[in-house]
Amino acid sequence: MMGRQIAQVFAQHGYEVEATDEDQQALKTGIDEIANGPYGIHASVSRGKLTPDQASKALANIKTSPKLDDACRNANLVIEAAFEDLQLKQNLFQKIESVAPATAIIASNTSTLSLDKISQKISVRDRTVGMHFFNPAQVTKLVEIIRGTTTSPEMVEKASQIVREIGKTPILAQDEPGFIANRLGLTLYMEASKLLEDRLASLQDIDTCMKLGYNHPMGPFELADFVGLDTRLRNIESLYKATSDSKWIPPKLLREMVQQGYLGDPTRKTTSKGGYYEYLQVKR
Ligand SMILES: NC(=O)c1ccc[n+]([C@@H]2O[C@H](COP(=O)([O-])OP(=O)(O)OC[C@H]3O[C@@H](n4cnc5c(N)ncnc54)[C@H](O)[C@@H]3O)[C@@H](O)[C@H]2O)c1
């Protein structure tokens, strides 16, 4: 989900992008969504955000490559956006270090994992940085820049500059569980889950509360469905692992839904049976 969104943002701002994924089907559906998705390039033309000429240039800027080595070989910046799993990201960082140019910035889009831990096995740790984009990256204006203990000030500045170049605003977060955004956003989601599981409020009323009362564009459950429930579960599990704080014990209902294949909004995740609204049979 995030890899394709980030690729599109860079391509629309004139960067040449090489996208790679171990799942070849994900590369195909990714390119299709970049072109034809609800926030895709053709939709941007219809909304008057891109001219047809800019659209074809943006599409031409994106190539896919089934092999990580090929995708990274000439990169100035590598942004890793694989599953939220520490070991997997550590291994990917090692591979990226071994194939990317010696000057490349190595960034992770992790939502919750420690950048220091992700970078632990590599030697160029001063060049690693967190670049946490928000979903949908094509329209959200924020990127959290995460500074690990070994990230050089120069890297922080370079990453922040790149974020400005692609029309977004960087904020600087320390390498603490949840950084700034998820510490705040997931706290809201955990409280919403308690209200729902304790039957103190309905799904719709909780979502309506945050939309109408606080002007959030989506309620906490609509947002969870949008983000993907499997990703949401991994994020909360990783916060629990990092902090051992019982406030981050994943909600039972969330775990149950993911186990049963309810991975979020099925129009965004084709493999999903649905999200909260489908699982609880409530009309969206
Ligand atoms: N979903 C969101 O709203 C959101 C927002 C911000 C950040 N993030 C973060 O972005 C990252 C990705 O989340 P997502 O929702 O896009 O997940 P996703 O499940 O949609 O995509 C993850 C992709 O990683 C690929 N992958 C897994 N292991 C790989 C490997 N070894 N080599 C190459 N590709 C591999 C998978 O095939 C899959 O296509 C996570 O770290 C997540 O926390 C997600």
> pLDDT for 54-72, tens place per residue?
999 999 999 999 999 999 9
Residues 62-117 have pLDDT tens digits of: 999 999 999 999 999 999 999 999 999 999 999 999 999 999 999 999 999 999 99
pLDDT interval class at 269 (50, 70, 90) = confident
Instruction: State the distance from the centre of ligand 1 to the C-alpha of 198, rounded, in angstroms.
Output: 31
Is any atom of ligand 1 closer than 6 Å to the C-beta of 108? no
Is any atom of ligand 1 closer than 6 Å to the C-beta of 71? no
pLDDT interval class at 267 (50, 70, 90) = confident
pTM of the model: 0.94
Mean of the per-residue pLDDT values of the chain: 96
What residue owns the CA closest to ligand 1's atom 6? 134
Q: Which CATH superfamily is domain 181-279 in?
A: N-(1-d-carboxylethyl)-l-norvaline Dehydrogenase; domain 2 (1.10.1040.10)
pLDDT interval class at 255 (50, 70, 90) = very high
In the chain, the amino acid numbered 118 is I
Residues of the chain within CATH 1.10.1040.10 domain(s) are 181-279
Is any atom of ligand 1 closer than 6 Å to the C-beta of 92? yes
Which pLDDT score, from 0 to 100, does residue 254 have?
98
pLDDT interval class at 284 (50, 70, 90) = confident
Residues 175-229 have pLDDT tens digits of: 999 999 999 999 999 999 999 999 999 999 999 999 999 999 999 999 999 999 9
Within 10 angstroms of residue 24's Cβ, the number of other Cβ atoms is: 11
Which pLDDT score, from 0 to 100, does residue 212 have?
98
What residues are labeled active site? 111, 132, 144, 182
Instruction: State the distance from the centre of ligand 1 to the C-alpha of 84, rounded, in angstroms.
Output: 6
> For 2-174, CATH number?
3.40.50.720
Residues of the chain within CATH 3.40.50.720 domain(s) are 2-174
What residue owns the CA closest to ligand 1's atom 19? 83
Residues 154-178 have pLDDT tens digits of: 999 999 999 999 999 999 999 999 9
What residue owns the CA closest to ligand 1's atom 7? 111
